[in-house]
Amino acid sequence: MASLGFARERGESPLQYLERIGRQQPKWQREAEAITQEFIALAYTTPAPDPQRLKQFQRQVRRARLLS
């Protein structure tokens, strides 16, 4: 998202970032929400992410970049 002009601001939480993207680019809201929720799950709720789940997340992010 940073390459599209939507870099996460310093101190901005993932949910605050999602809210800002949704306001500025409503068409990205659904995909951004799915990515944000998965990011939160991987980064904050599991001690060590499952490698397969991490790969799926990376594919999801790449797909979103192609849609922009």
Q: Where are the domains of the chain?
A: 2-67
pLDDT of 66 reads 63
Q: State the pTM of this model.
A: 0.81
pLDDT of 5 reads 79
Per-residue pLDDT tens digits for 38-57: 999 999 887 888 899 999 99
Per-residue pLDDT tens digits for 5-43: 788 999 999 999 999 999 998 988 899 999 999 999 999
- The number of C-alpha atoms within 13 Å of 9 and in the hemisphere containing its C-beta is 8
CA 7 to each of CA 1, 21, 53: distance values in angstroms, whole numbers, following the listed order? 6, 10, 24
Q: Cα–Cα distance between 67 and 51 in angstroms, integer?
A: 25
Residue 68 has pLDDT above 70, yes or no: no
